[in-house]
Chains A and B, each alone.
Chain A
Amino acid sequence: AQTVTQSQPEMSVQEAETVTLSCTYDTSESDYYLFWYKQPPSRQMILVIRQEAYKQQNATENRFSVNFQKAAKSFSLKISDSQLGDAAMYFCAYRSSDGTASKLTFGTGTRLQVTL
């Protein structure tokens, strides 16, 4: 079974600075997908960024980018130019490429605080 580990329960960043959230995972599969979801106090689950394991190029979405290290099974999220609206819980998630096993497996989350 796959597992996802987020070792940072809480992180803090100053506005306009850069922060990196860590995520590691364990799997025996070679093809899979990785995601970062954001959950603000409203509890909505918002997809931030997605990475296909077969792609070596790291995904980017505006101020959000990932550092995907397949051999190390590491998938960190970098938020540049942090804004107050970035304050939220961030969840890393794994999904098999097998269509019958397409559930998301989530980490326990990292709470990000953004300070002035």
Chain B
Amino acid sequence: NAGVMQNPRHLVRRRGQEARLRCSPMKGHSHVYWYRQLPEEGLKFMVYLQKENIIDESGMPKERFSAEFPKEGPSILRIQQVVRGDSAAYFCASSTGGQGGQPQHFGDGTRLSIL
């Protein structure tokens, strides 16, 4: 399967723990986007990364959230000291470039549940 791979599919954490969400883009894609979907809502942009660079993090909460896309390996979205309000589905998308016409292909998402 050459699609965008996200893992884990489901993640359960207790309040105060850390959550790490992983995203491997499609082969040949060097641009990664993270979105969050709260229950019964649309997807909200969080961060846009290229290899080793954060291009746009305008949608990221100022505290506790961070993202990286290293030279080797998957992109990681990290949430420290999780709270109940972090419960959501987190989607990763990838594309070959940042131009508007290049479609973003989505993974199946990680559903994060906070106990």
User: Are A and B subunits of one complex?
Assistant: yes
Question: In the bound complex, do residue A43 and residue B108 qualify as a contact, i.e. CB atoms below 8 Å apart?
Answer: yes
Chain B positions 88-115 with a Cβ under 8 Å from a chain A Cβ: 89, 91, 93, 95, 97-101, 103-106, 108-109, 111
Contact with A along B25-41 (1 / 0, CB 8 A): 00000010101000001
With known contacts A43-B108, A91-B42, A104-B33, A52–B55 Cβ distance under 8 A: no
Q: Chain B at the A interface: mostly helix, strand, loop or mixed?
A: strand
A-B contact count (CB 8 A): 72
B59 and A103 contact, CB distance less than 8 A:
yes
Give bound CA distance, A102 to B35, whole Å. 13
Complex CA gap A107/B44 in Å reads 9
| A residues in contact with B111, CB < 8 Å | 43
Which residue of chain B is the closest to A50 with respect to CB atoms?
Answer: B103
Q: What residues of A have a CB within 8 angstroms of the CB of B59 in the complex?
A: 103
Q: Would you mind naming 9 contact pairs between A and B with Cβ atoms under 8 Å apart?
A: A43-B89, A43-B108, A45-B91, A97-B101, A102-B31, A104-B33, A105-B45, A106-B42, A107-B42
Known pairs A43-B89, A44-B108; A103 contacts B101 (CB<8 A): no
Q: A104 touching B45 by the CB < 8 A rule?
A: yes
Q: Determine if B100 and A96 form an interchain contact, defined as CB atoms under 8 angstroms apart.
A: yes
| B101 contacts across to A, CB distance below 8 A | 33, 50, 52, 97
When A103-B56, A105-B45 are in contact, do A44 and B100 touch as well, CB less than 8 Å? no
User: B43 — nearest CB in chain A belongs to which residue?
Assistant: A106
Q: Is B48 an interface residue (CB 8 A)?
A: yes
Whole-angstrom CA separation of A63 from B41 in the bound complex? 26
Residue of B nearest to A54 (CB): B101
A-binding residues in B (CB < 8 A): 31, 33, 35, 41-45, 48, 55-56, 58-59, 89, 91, 93, 95, 97-101, 103-106, 108-109, 111
| 61-116 of chain A: CB within 8 A of chain B | 91, 95-109
Chain A residues whose C-beta falls within 8 Å of the C-beta of B93 in the assembled complex: 45, 104
| CB nearest neighbor in A for B101 | A33
Closest CB in chain B relative to A97 CB, distance in Å: 4
- Contact across chains for B100 and A108 when beta carbons are under 8 A apart: no
